[in-house]
Amino acid sequence: MSAVSGALVIGAGPAGLMAAAELARAGHAVTLAEAMPSPARKLLMAGKSGLNLTRDEAPESFLRAFTPLPPPLEAALRDFGPAQVQDWARALGQELFTGSTGRVFPVAMKASPLLRAWLAELAAAGVVLRRRWRWRGWAGDEALFDTPEGPRRIGAGATVLSLGGASWPKLGATGDWAAHLPGLVAPFRPANVGLRVEWSPHMARHFGRPVKGVALIAGGQVSRGEVVISARGIEGGGIYPLSPALRAGAALAIDLFPDLAPDALAARIARLPARLSGANRLRRLGLDPVRAALVQEFARPLPADLAPVLRALPVRHAGPRSLEEAISSAGGLRWDALDGFMLRDRPGVFAAGEMLDWEAPTGGYLLTACLATGRAAGRQAAARLAA
């Protein structure tokens, strides 16, 4: 069964919703197909931690967070960066605030009010949302779907794929689309992911506790964010930026006194009374219980010269956690398969969002790039329909 519609957008996450909005604004009839029973489940999940929409940061430093940063991604982010994301969210009725580290959140600290307003706007613009429509590849130029009413084939003047990456698959983005774009997809890898650590039993009482005021070092990179000790390892914003280095096998070390000059730490150690137990030495140096426990975990028996382990505590770990547990995925549709956001070997088919091969840390970069590329792909698709 075939139907011809103006534009087809496949995948109703932030990138797809943005592409659909651009196509509808340009006056095209839009069908938005989504595999799940409801749209934007990952966006709603992001809302559980407050919905960090973007980051109030100068453009050049904002762009440096992305690897790689090919010209189409850079152009999309220059057109629709942090300032534009904030204007867009305010236009959808969201009051925003900027946290101390520049991260921007809706005052509501959740995604549902924004998503409700967005979906209402799309419906008013005539976008038709098809739920439980799973894209199954192509039959010639038509897109194939499994739907509750049976198989469907849709031909469209322009199609935007916005199928997401491959992390947290239960929210809808499984990466299964890669099978329909053979030879064009760089393997998915976990990004923004915690680290597996097999703790000894005495660490159990620290599970759930934050580790503050440390610097994490891997592959020559230093991260100053906070991490949390969990039953399965180390997680949180402090470890996520190190994902690429840790994936590549770099060792992880923790500087427990990153704000103390080396001679100041040496002087503190020299002042310790002789014959103190290890635990008391760490306490007298000013380490709180969780940081002291980390030293005992990774450096016992404590060496006579404490400074090297306090400056670079070597963390024994079993590597990054799985793709299923990662906040986002690296890898995806390769940029050399694209001309702008259009597939070179399928003219009229565009792609956007996390399914493209880029990577960035948490902090609002991910959603900003999904919105920006969705908007750019939608605009390029609209221009093709108008040509």
Ligand X SMILES: Cc1cc2nc3c(=O)[nH]c(=O)nc-3n(C[C@H](O)[C@H](O)[C@H](O)COP(=O)(O)OP(=O)(O)OC[C@H]3O[C@@H](n4cnc5c(N)ncnc54)[C@H](O)[C@@H]3O)c2cc1C
**Is 238 a binder of ligand X (CB under 6 A)?**
no
**For ligand X, the closer CB: 128 or 267:** 128
**Is 86 a binder of ligand X (CB under 6 A)?**
no
Cα–Cα distance for residue pair 129/149, rounded to 1 Å? 15
By CB under 6 A, which span of 174-182, 196-204, 275-283, 379-387 interacts with ligand X? 174-182
**For ligand X, the closer CB: 354 or 357:** 354
**Is 244 a binder of ligand X (CB under 6 A)?**
no
**Is 24 a binder of ligand X (CB under 6 A)?**
no
**Is 241 a binder of ligand X (CB under 6 A)?**
no
Judged by CB under 6 A, the residue of 62, 80, 177, 341 near ligand X is 177
**Is 34 a binder of ligand X (CB under 6 A)?**
yes
Judged by CB under 6 A, the residue of 135, 188, 240, 350 near ligand X is 135
**Is 190 a binder of ligand X (CB under 6 A)?**
no
Residue 125 tokens, joined:
């613009």
- For residues 123 and 12, the answer to whether their CB atoms sit within 8 Å is no
Judged by CB under 6 A, the residue of 52, 159, 223, 243 near ligand X is 52
- For residues 87 and 54, the answer to whether their CB atoms sit within 8 Å is no
Q: Show the binding pattern over residues 363-382: x = contacts ligand X (CB under 6 A), - = does not.
A: -x-xx--x------------
**Is 45 a binder of ligand X (CB under 6 A)?**
yes
**Is 89 a binder of ligand X (CB under 6 A)?**
no
**Which H, E and C letters describe the chain, residue by residue?**
CEEEEEEEEECCCHHHHHHHHHHHHCCCCEEEECCCCCCCHHHHHHHCCCCCCEECCCHHHHHCCCECCCHHHHHHHHHCCHHHHHHHHHHCCCCEEECCCCEEEECCCCCHHHHHHHHHHHHHCCCEEECCCEEEEEECCEEEEEECCEEEEEEEEEEEECCCCCCCHHHCCCCHHHHHCCCCEEEEEEECCCEECCCCHHHHHHCCCEECCCEEEECCEEECCCEEEECCEEECCCCHHHHHHHHCCCCEEEECCCCCCHHHHHHHHHCCCCCCCHHHHHHHCCCCHHHHHHHHHHHCCCCCCCHHHHHCEEECCCCECCHHHCCEEEEEECHHHEECCEECCCCCEEECHHHECCECCCCCHHHHHHHHHHHHHHHHHHHHHHC
From the CB of 350, what's the least distance to ligand X, in Å? 13
Judged by CB under 6 A, the residue of 43, 228, 285, 337 near ligand X is 43
**For ligand X, the closer CB: 43 or 385:** 43
**Is 23 a binder of ligand X (CB under 6 A)?**
no
By CB under 6 A, which span of 13-21, 256-264, 269-277, 342-350 interacts with ligand X? 13-21
Binders of ligand X among 333-362, rule CB under 6 A? 353-355
Euclidean distance between the first and final Cα of the chain, in Å? 27
**For ligand X, the closer CB: 78 or 202:** 78
**For ligand X, the closer CB: 24 or 366:** 366
**For ligand X, the closer CB: 154 or 295:** 154
**For ligand X, the closer CB: 113 or 219:** 113
Place of tokens 């759930």: 208
Judged by CB under 6 A, the residue of 32, 33, 282, 323 near ligand X is 33
The footprint of ligand X (CB under 6 A) covers 10-16, 33-36, 39, 41-43, 45-46, 49, 51-52, 134-135, 162-164, 167-168, 172-174, 176-177, 327-328, 353-355, 364, 366-367, 370
